[in-house]
Amino acid sequence: MDLLRLHVGRRVRERAAIPDRLSLGAVAPDPADSIRERSFKFGIQIEPSTRSMAYHTINGRSFDMSRIDERVTLGETEIWSFSNDKAFAHPVHLHGAHFRVLSRSGGRRQVMPWEGGMKDTVLVYPTETVRVAVRFSAHRGIFPLHCHNIEHEDMGMMLNVLVE
């Protein structure tokens, strides 16, 4: 089955070179510089009358666009823990900053080799807690923290972080 046909309109000579080093020099947050720890529990709320899942939550709260859930100071390093005691894995995604995965407890109990660099998403398995070092150093503003499973996000598993 043909899905795509490409037509080359003209030849172009590209003079760009691959740099010797791909990293832009970003330095991972050092957990020793941490001034605060925060915990985020990813869960669900059950509707008592139907005994079915009503919505997904972070720290027992469903997303409210007009609410600021966390306030952080630009440039400070913090340790954040993402906990998941339910049956669904949650790819936790943070906007506005990158983080360094420090540890996993429960679940896999080990940081995987590919998790050694700077991240903006980390997969939190059932019965697992993942600790990260995070520093918002680029921009002030409101940034979401959410589960990257679109169904979970759409059902409320998201919160707002204000960087001041």
- Give me the DSSP letters along the chain: -------------------S-------PPPGGGEEEEEEEEEEEEEETTTTEEEEEEETTB---TT---EEE-TT-EEEEEEEE-SSS-EEEEESS-EEEEEEEEETT-S--GGGSSEESEEEE-TTEEEEEEEE--S--EEEEEEESSHHHHHTT-EEEEEE-
Give the pLDDT of residue 109: 87
The answer to whether residue 67 scores a pLDDT higher than 70 is: yes
- Average pLDDT, stretch 89-102? 95
**pTM confidence score:** 0.82
Greatest mean pLDDT range, 18-27, 48-57, 60-69: 60-69
Looking at domain 33-163, its CATH class is mainly beta
The answer to whether residue 24 scores a pLDDT higher than 70 is: no
Share of the chain above pLDDT 70, in %: 95
The answer to whether residue 44 scores a pLDDT higher than 90 is: no
Range name among 5-9, 51-55, 116-120 with the lowest pLDDT average: 51-55
Give the pLDDT of residue 99: 95
- Average pLDDT, stretch 137-150? 94
The answer to whether residue 80 scores a pLDDT higher than 90 is: yes
Band of pLDDT at residue 23, cut at 50, 70 and 90: low
Q: What is the mean pLDDT of the chain?
A: 90
- Average pLDDT, stretch 81-98? 93
